Amino acid sequence: MSPASPSYHALIPAAGVGARMGASSPKQYLPVAGKPMLRHALDAFRASPLIAHTYVVVSADDPYIDAVAPAEGVTVLRCGGATRMESIRNGLRALQGSVDGEDWILVHDAARPGLDAELIRRLIVETGEHPAGGLLALPVVDTVKRGTPGALATVPRDNLWLAQTPQMFRYSLLCRALDAATDPAAVTDDASAVEALGLAPRLVEGHPRNLKVTLPVDIRIAEMYLAAFRHETNNELN
């Protein structure tokens, strides 16, 4: 009997408070195009036939998630930590025994409502069996400046990319990388933890609509992208 093929699982850390939004509730629950921001991400993974299951990590006393998470296809893990990295670590520990070490974990920001099943498919297909995993990213197209007191310099943009999510790694590798990360400030995303092991994840081109909502103005930008995406999808169906 041949061994079972590795499966793909989504893990969404959603225990943050979104302080820069200045809102009365965590930003992942703010409405974007008619539904909570987090629900967009959950629905994208549920719409993908490649994703076996989706897990969302929230704080133990989160009062919003029960009204947002769908009844099927999503498991809520109430083990969120003080930082994003801690929430992911706790979530991975909670998955122990439920996933295989060779299974793939797709970690996605709750505040990226522009994800869709096609971007998920692209990440999975183009990452393939790459031993270091892969992540969605966008090549830098603007001129980049580095400013310091009294000095300004242009940074060559060749080979510069803006990291997005999902970021996809084998369960065992991601656990090892995050356990080895002793400085949370140095780990700005999951890929940086894997890079610290001397590995180079594969860059897979994403899409501008998969932006991270950080400031209030970003909500309107996300809604414009979502409206344009719905219009394109409707035209393809007609």
Q: Determine the average pLDDT of the residues in 154-162.
A: 95
Q: What mean pLDDT is reported for the chain?
A: 93
Residue 3 lies in a domain: no
> Over pLDDT 70: what percentage of the chain?
94
Residue 174 lies in a domain: yes
CATH of the domain at 149: 3.90.550.10
Cα separation of 137 and 164, whole Å? 5
Domain count, the chain: 1
Residue 2 lies in a domain: no
Strand runs labelled E in the chain: 8-13, 31-32, 35-36, 51-57, 74-77, 104-107, 134-139, 144-148, 151-155, 161-170, 202-205
Whole domain around residue 58: which residue ranges? 8-237
Q: Which two tokens stand for residue 154?
A: 């242009």
Q: Which of 105, 108, 10, 17 has its CA nearest to residue 59?
A: 17
Q: What is the pLDDT of residues 198-208, one digit of tens each?
A: 999 999 999 99
Q: What is the pLDDT of residues 108-135, one digit of tens each?
A: 999 999 999 999 999 999 999 999 999 9
Residue 60 lies in a domain: yes
Residue 228 lies in a domain: yes
Residue 90 lies in a domain: yes
